[in-house]
Structure 1
Amino acid sequence: MASAATARIRAAVIGTGAIVTGSHLPALRDHADRVELVAAVDVDEDRLDTFRATAAETAGFTVAGYPDVAAMLKAERPDLVLIGTPPSLHREQTVAALTAGAWVLCEKPLCLTLAEYDEIAAAETEAGGPYASVVFQHRYGSGAVHAQDLLTTGALGRPLVAHCQTTWHRDTAYYAVPWRGRWGSEGGGPSMGHGIHQMDLLLHLLGDWTEIRGMAGRLVHDVESEDVSTALVRFANGAMATVVNSVLSPDEVSRIRIDCADATVELTHLYGHRNDDWVYTPAPHVRDEPARQERWRTPAADLPSSHAAQLTGLLDAMRDGVRPPGSGPDARRTLEFIAALYKAAFTGQPVHAGEIAPGDPYYDAMHGNHPEWAPKAPQATNVAKKES
């Protein structure tokens, strides 16, 4: 990694589709004083060329193009790799980058199973990196930072009841993309691909979970995975929560609400939040305490949740040689939560934190080989030979 105080971090992107062009490239441009995009990988030559031209025009980056990850890593030796490919490729590409000595920022989900996550963790170097982080941009931004501080310091009183809602709408054309809605390529349905952001933020705000009970269904879409899931959750601090993930909801919203002893904090948005999206409502017994309520107000500086906000923390961690936020056991907790949601939904039994370990079918596959949810094996066809 660049060692001189004035040297920029050399970054590469794997995948040049909408998420990389629309979110990662602007984030890199916003940090152009600290990081330089030097390479991009894509199997689609036209898309790669379009991205390289866009990077040059909008950010002033001179980007070398590669069709192959291994060739790029060998030739460029980047310090940082940002991954925006379909989920089934994340584990392999993340491990390759870590092995080559690069830090990683990968789109969600970082991988498809807990077994894959532990393989990634084994490829990390604990003594100063490199480390792999997953994009959970809703943790970042001034509103989320402020809310977590209030909750963890007890400024709102003890957390009691919470609700986490990701109710979006996706049509049949969305699932016409071959890798969507399939366990082997996406890892799951809205629990894995959509609600993961709000569930991660809920865990970021409330801390460790201890027990989950769940339900899941295919109510509309003809897919392998679910199109709706619900859960009841108990946290280590005693709080209880409901969770809803849906791609069947015409009125789209992302919402987290936490009722504490002294106030309710509520976040309502869709794909990103600002300070004004966070609302604090005092309990009756503290409505006459204006000084206390003043502390609850969101900060004057308004930093939206974004890839750029998360990249700031990652670059700081690289500079300091420490594990970045959104990585390690903290990020694994979110993936374990989703695996537990699926296990609880498919088995009809409560699942406790730490229960899904090697040897458990839900450690190696989010569907847990459940006969009603696991992918159906192709039917063998026996063709009888006719006697001549």
Structure 2
Amino acid sequence: MIRVAIVGSGGIAGACHIPALRGESRRARIVAAVDVDEDRAKAFAAEHDIPAAYTSLTDMLDKERPDLVHICTPPFTHTAQVVECLEAGAWVWCEKPLCLSLAEFDAIAAAEGAAGPYSSVVFQHRFGSGAHHLRSLMAEGVLGRPLVALCETTWYRPPAYYEVPWRGTWASEGGGPTMGHGIHQMDMMLSILGEWEEIRAMAGRLDRDVETEDVSMAMVRFSSGAMASVVNSVLSPREQSYLRFDFAQATVELRHLYGYANADWSSTSQAWNPPQDVPSSHAAQLGELLDAFERGERPPVSGVEARRTMELVTGLYASALTGAPVLRAELTPGSPFYHRLNGGLSL
């Protein structure tokens, strides 16, 4: 059995991680829960029949020796926790964002072993059957080459949402809807269109009393020559997550909110017919992560794959805050945006 620990007992842990792990009970067992609040840790463990509760990640790693740790804590805590787990020999599956800068990402990568342990990010939208089918059709050449894409995350978060102290700041959340909300759709877009080269962006703080943006927009050019328009918002009362891919021979669209099934996809291609209906979910991604663990291979959305998404977010902020186009190749340790997503600048 793969021994699993959960760090952080907030809503995402109970709503998404626990059900996903229960669905893998034949090969994964939850052995411990960790939360800095002792009462909350014990209550979470009791509610979900977890045998041990801790307030210290260090103590849990020392006593339980888990194979895999799920990190479900606020963003500013991720890097230190992920590195500690990796150095203790545990694989990590971390809620987005994995970290708050490319510098932190590279520190995490340095803590991985050549043959594991590995860290992976929760980007569940890559793993539904619709996304798998789209990538299969592309590989077969059925759709032709990609040309144009739209990637829109138009969500709504009221002012009260930002009363949580770590939200809406560069230091603790890392960014606004670009980093915390639209990153899911942008990662999905990258899983389809691949390497990107250039980004031109704008970001604004239009209505929320926060340090970061509440809206961002960007144009992205990919290595293939394809171009994409990206919108991220927390000011949109009619919420929607929308992806559109125009290929030379067909259009493929996805409309959903926080997760999709096959019915949420449409296409002009007669070849569009996913062979199964697997919703995008933590469960879908966890299954592939555990498969990789059993094979001793790097899991999906890890390493170079995960860094590419972080690079796109970094490039968007760099362009928006400087007012200049940004090349992916420019995001090196010599760039201030490599170290902080806002590069020390203010909107």
Q: Does 1:258 align with 2:234?
A: no
Partner of 2:145: 158
What are structure 1's unaligned runs of at least 5 residues? 1-7, 57-61, 283-292, 374-388
Q: What whole-Å deviation, never above 9, does each CA across 1:170-221 have from its counterpart, x for those lacking one? A: 0110001000001111000000000000000000011111110000000001
CA deviation after TM superposition for structure 1 residue 22, in Å? 0.5
Rounded to whole Å, the distance in 2 between the matches of 1:256 and 1:124 is 33
Question: What residue identity is the alignment partner of 1:65?
Answer: A
Q: Which residue of structure 1 aligns with residue 105 of structure 2?
A: 117
Partner SS for 2:149: strand
Tell me the residue number matched to 1:379: none
Provide the residue aligned with 2:55 in structure 1: 67
Structure 1: distance between partners of 2:305 and 2:140? 19
Q: Secondary structure at the match of 2:212?
A: coil
- In the aligned structure 2, how far is the partner of 1:155 from the partner of 1:269? 25
Match in the other structure for 2:85: 97
Query: 2:341 aligned with 1:366, yes or no?
Result: yes
- Equivalent residue for 1:245? 232
Runs of 4+ more than 6 Å apart = none
Q: TM-score, normalised by structure 1?
A: 0.88
How many residues of Structure 1 are paired with residues of Structure 2 in the alignment? 347
Offset of 1:298 from its aligned partner? 2.1
Give the whole-Å Cα distance in 1 for the aligned partners of 2:338 and 2:211.
18
Give 1:312's match in structure 2, choosing from 262, 268, 287. Answer: 287
- State the secondary structure of the residue aligned to 2:70: strand
In structure 2, distance between residues paired with 1:231 and 1:25: 36
1:42 matched to 2:35? The reply is yes
2:285 is aligned with 1:298: no
SS in 1 for 2:76: helix
State the Cα distance separating 1:71 from its structure 2 match: 0.5
Relative to the length of structure 2, the TM-score reads 0.99
Q: Which runs of 5+ in 2 are unaligned?
A: none
Which has more radius of gyration?
A: 1
Name the residue aligned to 1:168: 155
Cα distance between partner residues in 2 of 1:193 and 1:367: 14
User: In the TM superposition, what is the alpha-carbon distance from 1:342 to its structure 2 partner?
Assistant: 0.3
What is the correspondence of 1:71-150 to structure 2 with a 5 Å cutoff?
A: 71-127=59-115, 129-150=116-137
Deviation at residue 141 of structure 1 after TM alignment? 1.4
SS in 2 for 1:166: strand
Question: 1:301-356 CA deviation, whole Å, 9 max, x = no partner?
Answer: 21111111101111111111110001000110000000000001111111111211
Question: Are the counterparts in 2 of residues 55 and 63 from structure 1 also a CA contact under 8 Å?
Answer: no
* Whole-Å separation in 2 of the counterparts to 1:243 and 1:101: 38
